[in-house]
Structure 1
Amino acid sequence: MKKAVLPLLLLCLSQGINAQEAKPTQEYDKWSIEVGAGINKPGRTFTEGYRTSRLAPITGELGVRYMFNNKFGLKLDAAYNQFKNADNSLDFKTTFMRLDLQGVINVGRILNFEDWTNRFGLLLHGGAGVFRMTFDDNALYSDAKDHGLNLIGGLTGQLRLSNSVVLTGDFTTSVNGVQNFNFDGNSTVSTNVVDGVLMTGTVGLTFYLGSKEKHADWYVYSVTDQLNELDKRVGDLETMMNDSDKDGVPDYLDAEPNTIAGVAVDSKGRNIDRNGNGVPDELESYLEKKEGELKSSATADLTDLINGGYVNVYFDFNADQPNPQSVNGVNFLIKYLKENPSKSADVIGYADEIGNTEYNKALSARRAENVKKILVDAGINASRLNIVGNGEDASVSKDSKYARQTVRRVTFIIK
């Protein structure tokens, strides 16, 4: 089955592997803190006679970023900027602050930077937020507190110093809307569509948070790892689809995973027994048809079936009372022993390998004892029944929960 399924999975993988490199498991950290400081340059919306120097020295930024995967994320960041008049300008000093929510695209992963470097990265960011601007006491509108909305976008270059710390260089442009006053605070703006423009350049550090070896910024999920995981999933699927008793119902859906071969079962793998007498309808019909001429032979056949392990009583994990679906096995033996009063039976209990061996030995004996009690309560003389606690059955893999349910049972030997 693996040979048929795996090529189909590989075909799907080939269509989406570039966009889904980090999906199967989270092998990377997602949170980071970003700090930076640098310079700024405001543009437009100045009163005549007022201007700044080419580059103003005071800019500080602080942000928190979360990556959904190794390509896309969000960050919330705030910035403080201060700028003042140039030497050939009238005096002014303005404080400009902003708070923005931005989407982040890891260009390095999208463009496969890992093919040529594991040190350099590039992030593209953009979004929107709010700003607030205040002016010094000499400004005409010194008492005013200007505020509005802004659009923002930029690029961040990355130099990985370690798996926890990255050196960054960022260039960002913020465009203000609904700005009331010019940057110097001495006149109002002439338009409220696109007003002030503020460009900033910063150098900073990014600190990655978490316990994983790498952050999403640098994580590359290899094709080999993904193929191995898909191969494991196909193997698990094959195990789930095992059909131990060949009744057409996979073990993980089979309520009676050891029914008689060739006998019709329902959708849950249980023998069809419409009259509830414990004998599958197909088997019962066959026996009734042949009863007259093959009674002794049929009895021998039934004995062989019972002794061959085709009649069992099953138990849930760590339980010593039969599960409701397998009581029919007890009914089958009741009918047999009543029709053959000279026969006796060993009632043999088993447990799976999970847990302490001595405990499982006692559990198997309790299971056999409880099945004996059901037989006695149904009219079978206790002297015809011998209890055997066989302990753990190691005939199946202890790592498969579907296989283990086939050995948590009571079986019978006719004498």
Structure 2
Amino acid sequence: MKKVMLTLVFAAAITTISAQNKTEENNKLDFNKWSVELSGGFNKPQRPMSEGYFTSTPSPYVADLGVRYMFNNKFGLKADFGYNSFTGKNNSLDFDTKYYRADIQAVANLGRIMNFETWTNTIGLLGHAGFGLAQLEDQNSALKDRMGNFIAGVTGQIKLSNRLVLTGDFTTILNTNQNIAFDAASTANTRGFGGILFNGTVGLTVYLGKNAKHADWIVDNGGEIDALKKRIADIETSMLDTDKDGVADYLDEEPNTVSGVMVNTKGKSIDLNNNNIPDELESYLVKTYGKDQSKTTPDNNELIKNLINGDYVCTYFDYNKTTPTNVSTEGIDFILNYLRKNPSSSVEIIGHADELGRSAYNDKLSNDRAVNVKNTLIKAGINESRLKVVGAGEDTSVDKDSDAARKLVRKVTFRVK
């Protein structure tokens, strides 16, 4: 008996250490670990049975109470206590014996190991095995037989809620050093695992804890499923065409193209003279604010204001420069024409810089760019009171590591007031 106890303790210790070492990361997940299991059903003692003694197939009764702790969503331990009643049936000689046992078992969540979550979220499967002690008692005498046992079985699960699960279990128990038959009518004197008992039960498992789910139903595949879901969501998002130019956002190098402007296969508006103003928009602006400004209507004027405030008219700068590039000075000309046509309007001149360099320096650089444009407009005859400089500092809306993207944020934009 001492050897059996030592074996039991050793097996439990090894299981615990192994589970803890393998699942240190999973322990960080928020899930309930404790549960209480209650079940009842039928049994069939297979051997040893005395000649002329037998039970019905199956025969009542079995009762089982267990407490389980899961280290993670795949492995755990449980302690359980069982009761079996054996009585003679039909043509058997009469007998009445009781069987009591206590076991510690390792538990494997086969449903998670075999990825049941790929086809169901309500059906689970547990495997369990361990060692324990048992006692067989004859109710018609004072005869008692103490023995060790090895127990193994599988438990099917149907999740009723996050707190309650319906279970069905089939378990095999092997007794060692069983000295009397299950009917207590003869001696067995078996030194090895000579006693065999089958149990089939139906029961309920109640999950304990403050979290929403128990470890039995937590899915953890090293973040792979979450990563795949995120990738799918990103793809769905990237397939959107926010600016409705016919090019999906993930391919669109100019995601905010003005509506109706022709774009190339990369979603960029057509700009043959490379002055950073779409040719169709530029053509419209020239017609509206060209030499013959008498044709401008109030409706057209409001549209132009919206286009300017939408950053479709800009002035761009080279890296670390405060002087506009040659091809982008036309943006200043458009603003100049607008202010001349609308003497009651004023404008904010907003300077921007990319993220390279120190933030304090970029703040000054963005302000100096706006000041340069302001001075150009003053020299062209615009009253200084109508011009306000704003240093917006670094523009972090684009990829810092992309040279092409950084070119788009080294600019001055305008806000008509």
TM-score normalized by the length of structure 2 = 0.47
TM-score normalized by the length of structure 1 = 0.48
Higher Cα radius of gyration: 2
